[in-house]
Amino acid sequence: MKPRTPLLAALALAAALTPPLARPAQLMSAPVAVATPQDSAALVARLSALDARPGLTNDYSFRISSQHPGVVGQKITRAQHTYKGLRVFGSESVVVTNAAGEILSVAASDRRPGLAPQATTPSGITPPLPADLTPRLNSDDAIRAAVQAIAPAGTHRWPPGAELLIYPLMKSARTAAAANKPEDQLNALDLEEVVDRYALAWLVQLRMAQDGRLVYYDVVIDARDGSLIAKWPALQTVTGIGNSQYNGQVPISTSATASGFQMLDSTRGSGGKFGGMAITNANHSSPNNPDPGNVYTNSGNTWGDGKQYSGGSTTDANGQTAAVNALWGLMNTYDTNKNVLGWQSLDGNNTATYIAAHVGSAYDNAFYDDSCKCMYIGDGNSFYSLGAIDVIGHEMSHGVTASTADLIYAGESGGLNESNSDIGGEMVEAYARAGGTGNSVPASGNDWMMGKEISKSGQPLRWMYKPSKDGSSPDAWSANLKNLDVHYSSGPNNRMFYFLAQGSSADPASDYHSPYLTRAPAAMSGIGTDKAYRIWFKALTTKFTSSTNYADARNKVLQAAQELYGASSKEAIAVQRAYAAINVGADIDEAGDGGGGGGGGGQATERVVNGGFEDGATGWSGSTYVIGTHSAQPAYEGTRYAWLGGNGRRSSETLTQRVDIPAAATSAQLSFALHIDTAETSNTVYDTLTVSLRAAGGAALATLATYTNLTPAAGYQLRSFDLLPFKGQSVTLSFAMREDRSKQTSFVLDKVSLLTK
């Protein structure tokens, strides 16, 4: 290996030497600035360049839909896919960029006409692309059709909206490997969602009330004939759960007024309706059209009597108890995500929200309303008051989902939406009951049951460790899962999370046993609640799309574990085992290496030869002399790596490898570990590493990323890219480094992997 300019800082070297399991927890960034139109246009241009492929015309583009913080120094942008200017429903990319605006990774669900995997008719003809994109119904017609189908006698709480879009009607298709598998032996990875046909449609959002209840639905209306294509509920609710009357005296953060105090916490969140986190008195406002009312006030700063609401005044000590419950729950929800993850409020941008107590009379419900980004709580009738700590954590977690992945509230994605809220509720409960302080989720304090405290029978609404105990929720994935109510289809993922955190039992008679765990040991090991939550939250906020299903969730949660703890870490292995325990992917041995970060017991195939460089130049072409080892730089794994750059003079070095992506692939994930160190001090790009794909003839297919001297980092960072759009092609993977005439920049590459399924 040629001489190198030593890496600069001892601090950076010490950080790089830190093994994967000792890496500090990654916190989410502070609130991000709203992108300017110029910033959005620049990102769309970079995405379009990245997405360049045969058959892609100017008909295809992107539309920036939302932005939120990633880990420190990163931003997450969600870009909807468009075709001829119309959004393709459920088709989008999740883009991670650094402080310089460079793309670090892209996760996608691609359902665009002509590009997405499509089903075929018996004649072998693929579904036709939408030809005429002119609707025969206008938006008012579509709204009338939706109202007629959902709530003909209802009234609008919020003005209805209608968006013209291309709606892919999906169907499940077996993979080639599962073509002859018996139905009862199917695993979630044996099926893939494919486009059956496309429809020009109106997506109508109805936020109505009828017969004393809220009727919130998203409705898809055919733009040609006005027929109903699909509908799903948009009100995200939970029934029952206790409140802080079960937690004794609790500290609450209020603010002073001229005449006393109010339940306005100005230390948590900013802006919003009240300028801070607030609890309001709905004062029995009808659930048909609830009015949040005014912020709770009191002459003194002692609130409530700790007893179940008796039905009298909503402002005396007994009436204040529901508000105490709500504020304590809201504070702890905020603190859990802020102190543990660095995530501020529901949207990550620290926008304040509020909870309205005493909705209705003896109202047996609590719900999150994304129209106001707030929560309403009833006093209960069959249940006790619905302001319990895990219910508030549950409902507020719907707000996090709405601000990030925005999982469609139907089918498997709807089950994952509900499961995320159950997970959030349990994490908040654990954090609050351990004192509500610290930077980790405690290992105990929650009961892994939703609704136990408020249930007058003592029976919870859901058991996370054994969902089937409620009589309706399955313990594992099956092809019928997408047909269940989302509160039941959440069950398998709840169980997955419990196993990931706490482990399982080898005893077949135990509630904590899974018959799908067939490898050693029979009782899988958990990684602890704190790590499990970090992995899950990272996957939700930086990788999930609105249409993510169980199979996709498994792959993306695994990627999150690999990025946080290492490609072959015990945490990554535990994710594979936890999903295998619910029939999503195959089981593996804990003593194994995790299948190179995604093997899944034979479910994935590694396409890169010698990606860890342990066999020297084997499999690689170009400047292979950069492969080796050096005392100034540790490897990410093993002992060798590729050190591109670090010369401190004008130079260029390139490593390439030809890889094949099968036409039948349902997943193709490229990943690599990269450490960047530089001696450059100017805020100018001098040295670059370009990662790209080239066709068999040498023509450029796509530039995946360009890294520069402006993006150094202490230690390795895992980068990942979705290469499924290039399936059926033999491509050359290229890492090309260019240095200018002075001051070195080192691009140290290791653990290159392309896993296909």
Catalytic residues, by residue number, are 395, 487
Half-sphere exposure of 24 (CA within 13 A, CB side): 12
Contact present, 581 and 477 (Cβ < 8 Å): no
Beta bridge partners of 658: 732
> 């299948």: which residue's tokens?
595
> 């290791």: which residue's tokens?
750
DSSP string, 212-230: TEEEEEEEEEETTT--EEE
Tokens of 290: 């609830």
Q: Between the CA atoms of 146, 149, 155 and 161, what dihedral angle is there, to the nearest 10 degrees?
A: -10
Q: Is the dihedral of CA 661, 663, 664, 669 positive or negative?
A: positive
The CA–CA distances, whole Å, from 321 to 167, 493, 506 equal 47, 34, 44
Q: Taking CA 561 as the corner, what is the angle to CA 708 and CA 413, rounded to the nearest 5 degrees? A: 105
Q: Is the dihedral of CA 141, 147, 152, 154 positive or negative?
A: negative
Residue type at position 99? A
DSSP string, 163-194: EEEEEEEEEEEE-GGGTT--GGG--GGGEEEE
- Alpha-carbon span 380 to 287, nearest angstrom: 13
> 């009312």: which residue's tokens?
293
277-281 and 354-359 strand pairing: parallel
Tokens of 716: 């390795």
CB 512: neighbour CB atoms within 10 A? 16
